[in-house]
Structures are given as C-alpha cells and as structure tokens.
C-alpha cells in the first residue's frame, strides 16, 4: 500500500470516503498511464496482484483496463471500501445500443452517498473522479462533464465533448467473477484482430484538463471541450522520447524498438480506431 501511494504521489487521507476516492482516482490516473505494449511484445498481461504490483508499482509501467482496475480494486479493498466488480460494453465511436461483448473491467463502490463508478482503466476517457451511478445527472469531473443514459437496463457512460455527448461504454449491472476477467483478458490480449496486437497505444490525463493519447505515430492532446492538437512522430527516437517522457513509462530501448518494428509490420498506421479517437 505504501509503495502504491508513493507511486501515484498521494499524500492525503486514506479513510474510505468519497473525497478520498476522488483524490485516489485522480492521482492514479495521472501517474500510471494506460498502455498495451506488453501485448505487442508477446506477453499477455497476468492479473495476479503480485505481477501487477511488480509491473506497475515497482516496474514503473502502465497497463490496460484489467491490469489497472485489478490493482486499483485491491488498493481500495485494503483501505476498507466495499467494491462490486462489473464489466462494460465499449461503444466508443459506435451506436449507443451496439451489440457489443463485455470486454471492459470497472467497479462499483458503495458509499454512504450511494453507488459510484470507479474506473482508472479506459485510456483517453476514463473518468478522473468517481461518478454517481444515477441516470441523466450531469456530473463535473476534473476533465470532461459526464453523465449516464439508461439503455435497456444498462447505464451508458457519456462525455460532453466538442460536438456533443459521445458514448463511452455501457455498464452491465451484475457482479462479475474474476474468472470472467481472466477469460476476457486472454481473448483481448491474444485475438489477432484486436487493435493491441499491432498498434502502439498509450494515454494519460495531462495538465489543464487535457488528455494525451498516442496511437502509433500520432500523438493527440485534447482539451476538455474536445479540441485536439495532433502531431506525428517522424523518427524512431521520438517513440523513445514520447513513451518515456510524456507517458512516464520505464521501458527499455530494446522493448520500444521491438514495438516499433511490430507496429510497422502489423499496425494500422494512422487509420482511426473508434476506441482511441
């Protein structure tokens, strides 16, 4: 616990309150980047706590939804929070009622104020504070304004961006077993048609309510209203500089070079992906 709090730079109270939860989500999101580079390196993520601690706390790396939220869940439980593990159907860039599989991990936190969503693992649109699981209530976060829309019993998380409300994922309101995460994690990390096999993907919140996203050579800085500034990396050294500098990843030269090689052979280039727009 002390090592995790040090890793995320948190020095505040640790009593299991809504205020503490908001501060922990904010600190974790800014310190531990979303990234999927191990999948490109042929290393499907492992979800046991010892491995997650070694990678993201001691190792200075990031992770994707299962890794991030498994670690965050363990920390919250150790602090005394009551957690219900959930899954979501990602509909980013798709129709709100798209028939999507449940490939995202998130969690519900029970507090005296009610039930709240906690999710530190959705890359460029993960909420940077807890969100009350109430439909239609517009909720301010340190970044975007967000809300939930009920879609046949599944609350759809939306963010207010430049062109209006955009869908993120639908929350399935039933508790999940960790074995279900193991299955979904393996599918997501090994299926040849998932975007993680051949594309360099990273994201983290930036200063002044911005978010920074990397998709192959494209680096995007987007503000809370959805205005985006994009630039394209022009040489291999820039990948080292960005992954280590802007995303704070402790990753070797050899590993970065291998990811770039895989990207050039298997990646989709600058083609847009609905999850990482």
- The predicted structure's pLDDT at residue 276: 66
CB 266 within 8 A of CB 77: no
DSSP for 234-263 reads -SHHHHHHIIIIIS-----HHHHHHHHHHH
Give me the residues of the chain with pLDDT under 70, please. Answer: 272-277
Q: What is the pLDDT of residues 29-80, one digit of tens each?
A: 999 999 999 999 999 999 999 999 999 999 999 999 999 999 999 999 999 9
- The predicted structure's pLDDT at residue 272: 65
CB 167 within 8 A of CB 94: yes
CB 63 within 8 A of CB 34: yes
Q: Catalytic pick from 28, 104, 143, 167?
A: 104
Q: ∠ CA 201-204-207 to the nearest 5 degrees?
A: 145
Q: What is the pLDDT of residues 102-112, one digit of tens each?
A: 999 999 999 99
- The predicted structure's pLDDT at residue 124: 85
Is 58 one of the catalytic residues?
Answer: no
Q: Catalytic pick from 38, 119, 167, 259?
A: 119
- The predicted structure's pLDDT at residue 271: 72
Q: Catalytic pick from 28, 65, 143, 259?
A: 65
- The predicted structure's pLDDT at residue 118: 98
Comparing CA positions, the residue from 239, 242, 245 lying closest to residue 259 is 239
Is 191 one of the catalytic residues?
Answer: no
- The predicted structure's pLDDT at residue 123: 86
First to last CA, the chain: 34
């Amino acid at each position: 616990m002390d090592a995790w709090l040090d890793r995320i730079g948190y020095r505040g109270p640790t009593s299991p309150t809504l205020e503490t939860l908001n501060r922990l989500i904010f600190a974790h999101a800014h310190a531990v980047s979303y990234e999927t580079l191990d999948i490109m390196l042929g290393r499907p993520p492992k979800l046991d706590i010892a491995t997650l601690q070694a990678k993201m706390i001691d190792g200075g790396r990031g992770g994707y939804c299962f890794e991030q939220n498994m670690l965050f869940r363990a920390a919250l439980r150790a602090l005394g929070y009551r957690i219900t593990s959930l899954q979501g159907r990602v509909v980013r860039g798709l129709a709100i009622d798209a028939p999507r599989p449940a490939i995202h991990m998130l969690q519900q936190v029970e507090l005296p104020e009610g039930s709240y969503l906690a999710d530190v693992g959705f890359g460029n649109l993960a909420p940077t504070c807890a969100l009350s699981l109430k439909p239609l209530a517009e909720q301010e976060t340190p970044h975007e304004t967000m809300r939930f829309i009920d879609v046949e019993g599944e609350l759809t998380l939306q963010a207010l961006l430049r062109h209006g409300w955009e869908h993120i994922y639908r929350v399935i309101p039933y508790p999940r077993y960790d074995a279900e995460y193991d299955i979904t994690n393996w599918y997501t990390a090994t299926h040849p048609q998932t975007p993680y096999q051949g594309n360099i993907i990273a994201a983290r919140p930036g200063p002044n309510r911005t978010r920074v996203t990397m998709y192959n050579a494209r680096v995007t800085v987007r503000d809370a209203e959805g205005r985006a500034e994009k630039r394209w990396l022009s040489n291999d050294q820039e990948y080292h500089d960005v992954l280590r500098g802007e995303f704070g990843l402790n990753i070797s030269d050899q590993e970065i070079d291998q990811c770039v090689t895989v990207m050039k052979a298997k990646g989709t280039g600058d083609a847009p992906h609905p999850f990482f727009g």
